[in-house]
Chains A and B, each alone.
Chain A
């Protein structure tokens, strides 16, 4: 069965860095786009970043652009999120999610949706 397991969360001071990992199993990782989605305390779901199956397209939410970097290792079935210059407002539960889309051009998929999610990992940014 499909499994997505996040790791690397914890407490970090503002301005510092943290790297999240997501281990995938139970499906052909190299055939799916992957994403990070977060939920801050008392807030709704916020999309953070996404990466195509072949890394040909990478996208970021405005709130993390220039600070976070999404990457993947298809041979190791791993997804990563490098988070730099962390802010208190980055405090959230971060989840990785598998994308399944069929209606895609060379630059985007119009039917993007997330059919499997990890349980999430807590990142707390606090001094």
Chain B
């Protein structure tokens, strides 16, 4: 059972928009910054969003992040088949003194 809760899967058609939620508590998301990662098994994970809503250079603006209270959301617009992957949220948990990840969300582009 992950400390952060994500939906196991989401799906949408090419060109559409999808959002992935990440729910936590005051000891993690509520008082720390959230990051998001794109991961295709067998390859290195890639940082998509850091500090709740910042994109590293090279990440297209189709990807966005937001945070409200103890929840965070990753948004992806203009879906492409290449976006199919597992997506993870992560943050620091001040009570556990540990980095925590969500359980991951598998994105299917139909």
Chain A positions near chain B (C-beta within 8 angstroms): 35, 37, 39, 44-47, 50, 59-62, 95, 97, 100, 103, 108-120
The CA-CA distance from A113 to B35 in the complex, in Å, is 6
**Secondary structure of the A contact surface, majority rule:** strand
Given that A44-B2, A45-B45 are contacting pairs, would A115 and B101 also be in contact in the complex, using a CB cutoff of 8 Å?
no
Please indicate the chain A residues that have their CB under 8 angstroms from the CB of B12 in the complex. Answer: none
Chain B positions near chain A (C-beta within 8 angstroms): 2, 31-33, 35, 37, 39, 41, 43-47, 50-51, 56, 86, 88, 90-92, 94, 96-104
Q: Which of A39, A109, A117, A119 is close to B92, meaning CB atoms less than 8 Å apart?
A: A109
Q: Is the CB of B33 within 8 A of A46?
A: no
Please indicate the chain B residues that have their CB under 8 angstroms from the CB of A116 in the complex. Answer: 47
Q: Is the CB of A95 within 8 A of B50?
A: no
Number of residue pairs A-B, CB distance < 8 angstroms: 77
Please indicate the chain A residues that have their CB under 8 angstroms from the CB of B103 in the complex. Answer: 44
Given that A45-B37, A95-B45 are contacting pairs, would A112 and B101 also be in contact in the complex, using a CB cutoff of 8 Å?
no
3 closest cross-chain pairs (CB), A and B: A113-B35, A44-B104, A111-B33
Q: Is the CB of B98 within 8 A of A114?
A: no
Please indicate the chain A residues that have their CB under 8 angstroms from the CB of B99 in the complex. Answer: 35, 47, 50, 59, 112
Closest CB in chain B relative to A31 CB, distance in Å: 17
Q: Most chain-B Cβ atoms within 10 A of its Cβ — which of A62, A113, A114, A119?
A: A113
The CA-CA distance from A59 to B97 in the complex, in Å, is 7
Please indicate the chain A residues that have their CB under 8 angstroms from the CB of B97 in the complex. Answer: 59, 108
